Amino acid sequence: MSLPTVWRAASIQFLAVLLLAGALGAALPRSFFEDWGWIAGPASWMLCAAITTYFVRLPLRLVLIGAALAGLPSLVAVLIGQHWAGALLAVILFGLWCGWVRGQLTREY
């Protein structure tokens, strides 16, 4: 586990999600998210993960797998009406995944 990678990935993902959500929220009406949020949210999350990949220098495929897995608990949060709490949990889990991947890639055998 690479703690610097955990912090870097989580903070970059958090910032990317925050900026993209703000831009989309300002540009699109609420009705868009009510009708299309089920696809816009996950697509935005994965786009932010792809951006994060550039900064943490990890394989895109592994980072996107981690982003998908980290996003699963968010589904539960959305269903109980706690969307942003779920997003925060997903950011934390995503950072941990990236730190774990870095540790696996740098491990000597």
Number of structural domains found in the chain? 1
Q: What 8-state DSSP symbol labels residue 99?
A: H
CB atoms within 10 A of CB 50: 14
109 HSE (CA, 13 A, CB side): 2
Q: State residue 75's pLDDT score.
A: 85
Give the model's pLDDT for residue 107. 79
Interhelix angle 30-56/83-106, rounded to 10 degrees, is 20
At 44-72, the pLDDT tens digits run 999 999 999 999 999 999 999 999 999 99
The range of the structural domain enclosing residue 76 comes to 3-106
DSSP 3-56: HHHHHHHHHHHHHHHHHHHHHHHHHS-HHHHHHHHHHHHHHHHHHHHHHHHHHH
pTM value?
0.88
